[in-house]
Structure 1
Amino acid sequence: MRTVDSLHLRLLRLLRDHGAISRAELADQLEAPRPRLLAELDRLVGLGYVAEAGLAASRGGRRSTLVELNPGLRFAAVDLGASSIDVEVVNGRLEPVAAYAESADIRSGPKVTLQRVSELLHKARVDGAYERLAAVGIGVPGPVSFRDGVPVSPPIMPGWDRFPVRELLTREHGCPAVVDNDVNVMAIGERHGGVARSVNDFMLVKIGTGIGCGIYLDGEVYRGKDGCAGDIGHIQVELNGPMCSCGNLGCLEALFGGAALAREATVAARSGASPALAERLAAAGTVAACDVALAAAEGDITCIQLIRDGGRRVGRVLAGMVSFANPSMIVIGGGLAQLGHILLAEIRSVVYRRSLPLATGNLPVVLSELGLRAGVAGAAVLASDVAFEQAS
């Protein structure tokens, strides 16, 4: 993204995050000379980004005009998982006006997956959710070159390496697009409207099919030089552990991602170690992470232990990161966050026990407030930002 006038961005973000504001209040909050602010507002009205919204309450003199983001402004937010597609069309306040969620296989490749995204957005347009999009934001489950808008050697996304995702979306929908790693996108969503709102230094850990970490430092996403910061799922936690999708042995993801937990659950079901899982396997022919969560909630000792073992491994990795980066908060999200407080308690226990007391004395470790919507929420924020930067 290119650098633009700071007043321009601050003004649009303020209207996005707080709704209709009077011209007088805008001048006060932005600390901008009134003539310059009025000129900028007139320019944005002409571009279709801002609209008048009636008169503000009197402040003792002539009533100021309220301004807001154009009610017709629309952004598309897309969250791709290893086995799911979530799409929302949102308005300027990032409130959803249309939403679609369905199962998908990221291994089917970029053309098939992105074609389905386009079909869902086309359905939203036919249904009246928008006339045109101002921008598209998308998160994908693998490393991304944020600068180039392409995935780079993603372990669970065959066929996606260097695929021009941003270019295709821009061409397909006639608007700017932005592409980021799904965990960074979740962190952006959680900071904008979730439990980490206004927290400048935190880590969001996604535990799903894969495991990753979105990192906020000093109020900005830290992506690293090449876009792969936070790829904690491929930190080795057992020297002779199982083979990971990345080709190495004993990675955290290979021991406690969604596929790993399903594998361990299947073993427990077939061996009879877990009667609850054995019953589910007999009924459905397969067991998944959600079955472990349900059986643990019913008191199944084996399932509780599976969750605790996973939480302990995640906690060991996070303890090292806490001692290194000293965040203000850790947020646990992703599909396996449904394992709930058994998982959270184990992660907390290990982090607090193994990290330096100075780093954990005021460190909350909490579940995501946005849950499975964190990804689309963050993609919407990214889409709005790239649109605002283009509005010049």
Structure 2
Amino acid sequence: MNKTSSVPVVAQRQNNLKKSVLGFFATNGNATIPDLSKELNFSVPKITSLVNELIQDSLIQDYGKVDSTGGRRPNLYGLIPDSAFFIGVEVKQSHINIGLSNLQCELVRVTEEIEYKLDNTQESLDSLCEAIVQFIGGLTINKANILGIGINLSGRINYKTGHSYSFFHFDERPLSQIIESKVGIPVFLENDSRAMAYGEFCMGVVKDEKNVLYLNLGYGIAVGIMLNGQLYYGKSGYAGEFGHMPLFDNEQICHCGKKGCLETEASGWALTRMFREKLLEGSSSVLSLKNIAPEDVVMEDIIWAAKNDDVLAIELIAKIGEKLGRGIALLINLFNPELVVLGGSLATTEDYLRLPIKTAINKYSLSLVNNDTDLKMSKLGERAGIIGACLLVRNRLWALL
């Protein structure tokens, strides 16, 4: 290899080393140069050079001397939290949640429950862009310090190309490119369940487990998969379509156009349909006192009712929980995971959903397999998606260094 062609290789290696240092700080917090040298297996002179470059890049800073039992006291270095920011956007069926995180992925501002209706229309896309623009406009930080925006959408997303194949696919250009042209900041798309899973993997209930399934239980249902400590995407990036497993022999048409999918009987859509039917049949509910017409009841209303001890809501949530548990039992038999995490809007009903799921898992999965699997509720709750989006944007921007 000639001298000229070797220059890009050397530069790339240097960037990879810098990313290793940034990644260590992001995961472990502040550290001294001797600590970095030991943990990353680089020489002290090399670490010193990398740290000095990152200081010049305004990404890390010297936090001063640390206490020492003897000899020269070493300096402590770490990320400058407010040197860069990221925005995470969680697009739900009936609202949007948006958060701003710093370089350490600490949320510094969050706006939740922004009224919104997700449809595959230009009007819905324009409303999404407007919500993001308004959020940015209300910030006090310099817009130039916002390095990227992560947007989570349900359905099939190709995060590498920025295309969505479930929503807003009426333009040949990648959706990420279209939104970026409207908001003026680089945009990265991700499947909502996978982003929620990543947030939980990194900053939630997951600790040392390397093989984890995260169930996003909302209007639809899907699974984020972590194998050997890494997100699993599958060949085309569409792994995790848990809700479209054909488990039932029924005539209910799923949103995917097929019949018999798990979502037709064990999702927020199914819960809403069954609840409306029961009201029309004459069943009573605390929602009746709020003068909500049966056809206007939505999943969020049913969750509220369950949290207010509504018998009908609790009974129907238990019913879909039993069917969900049957599907999760199949996943446990297939993956033999260390941990299954229940997240998403339906998981906020806690034991009303968890207990019937646990009972069904014990009934339908192999005991030798499920004995090794813990079942836990999400720690991050409704903010898992925002946090996951910010983390993924940060990591993907580092990959471009």
TM-score by length of 1: 0.90
Greater alpha carbon shift after TM alignment, 182-191 vs 93-102 = 93-102
Amino acid in structure 1 at the alignment position of 2:191: N
Residues 297/105 of structure 1: CA separation in 2 closer, same or farther (3 Å cut): closer
Match of 1:118 in 2: 132
The answer to whether the aligner puts 1:268 opposite 2:282 as a matched pair is: no
Amino acid in structure 1 at the alignment position of 2:132: S
Structure 1 residue 227: Cα displacement: 1.3
Structure 1 residue 78: Cα displacement: 1.7
Amino acid in structure 1 at the alignment position of 2:153: V
Match of 2:288 among 256, 261, 278: 278
Matching of residues 288-307 of structure 1 within 5 Å: 288-297=298-307, 299-307=309-317
Structure 1 residue 214: Cα displacement: 0.3
Match of 2:31 in 1: 21
The answer to whether the aligner puts 1:151 opposite 2:198 as a matched pair is: no
Match of 1:134 in 2: 147
Structure 1 residue 279: Cα displacement: 3.2
Residues 135/299 of structure 1: CA separation in 2 closer, same or farther (3 Å cut): closer
Structure 1 residue 299: Cα displacement: 4.8
**1:116-167 deviation line (CA, Å, top 9, x unaligned):** 2431342244x33754212222221111112212112x1xx35468652333
CA contact (8 A) 2:285 2:311 kept: no
Amino acid in structure 1 at the alignment position of 2:150: G
Across the two proteins, how many residue pairs are aligned to each other? 385
Q: Per the alignment, in what secondary structure is the counterpart of residue 26 of structure 1? A: helix
**1:65-101 deviation line (CA, Å, top 9, x unaligned):** 2222223221122222222221111111111122222
Amino acid in structure 2 at the alignment position of 1:76: I
CA contact (8 A) 2:215 2:341 kept: yes
The answer to whether the aligner puts 1:215 opposite 2:225 as a matched pair is: yes
Determine the C-alpha separation between the residues in 1 that align with 2:218 and 2:77. Answer: 41
Determine the C-alpha separation between the residues in 1 that align with 2:55 and 2:102. Answer: 17
CA contact (8 A) 1:258 1:336 kept: yes
Residues 254/116 of structure 1: CA separation in 2 closer, same or farther (3 Å cut): farther
Amino acid in structure 1 at the alignment position of 2:159: F
Match of 2:250 in 1: 240
Amino acid in structure 2 at the alignment position of 1:304: I
Match of 1:188 in 2: 198
Q: Per the alignment, in what secondary structure is the counterpart of residue 54 of structure 1? A: strand
Determine the C-alpha separation between the residues in 1 that align with 2:37 and 2:127. Answer: 45
Match of 2:8 in 1: none
Amino acid in structure 2 at the alignment position of 1:120: Q
Match of 1:87 in 2: 98
Q: Per the alignment, in what secondary structure is the counterpart of residue 112 of structure 1? A: helix
Residues 284/302 of structure 1: CA separation in 2 closer, same or farther (3 Å cut): closer
Determine the C-alpha separation between the residues in 2 that align with 1:290 and 1:111. Answer: 23
Determine the C-alpha separation between the residues in 2 that align with 1:349 and 1:197. Answer: 25
Structure 1 residue 25: Cα displacement: 1.9
Structure 1 residue 215: Cα displacement: 0.4
Residues 295/135 of structure 1: CA separation in 2 closer, same or farther (3 Å cut): closer
The answer to whether the aligner puts 1:320 opposite 2:330 as a matched pair is: yes
Match of 1:105 in 2: 117
Unaligned runs of 5+ in 1: none
Identity percentage of aligned residues = 27
Determine the C-alpha separation between the residues in 1 that align with 2:383 and 2:50. Answer: 34
Determine the C-alpha separation between the residues in 1 that align with 2:385 and 2:250. Answer: 33
Root-mean-square deviation (CA), in Å? 2.5
Determine the C-alpha separation between the residues in 2 that align with 1:99 and 1:129. Answer: 17
Determine the C-alpha separation between the residues in 2 that align with 1:42 and 1:287. Answer: 59
TM-score by length of 2: 0.88
Determine the C-alpha separation between the residues in 1 that align with 2:17 and 2:90. Answer: 30
Structure 1 residue 361: Cα displacement: 0.7
Amino acid in structure 1 at the alignment position of 2:99: E
Match of 1:331 in 2: 341
Determine the C-alpha separation between the residues in 1 that align with 2:56 and 2:303. Answer: 53
Unaligned runs of 5+ in 2: 1-11
Match of 1:367 in 2: 377
Amino acid in structure 2 at the alignment position of 1:383: V
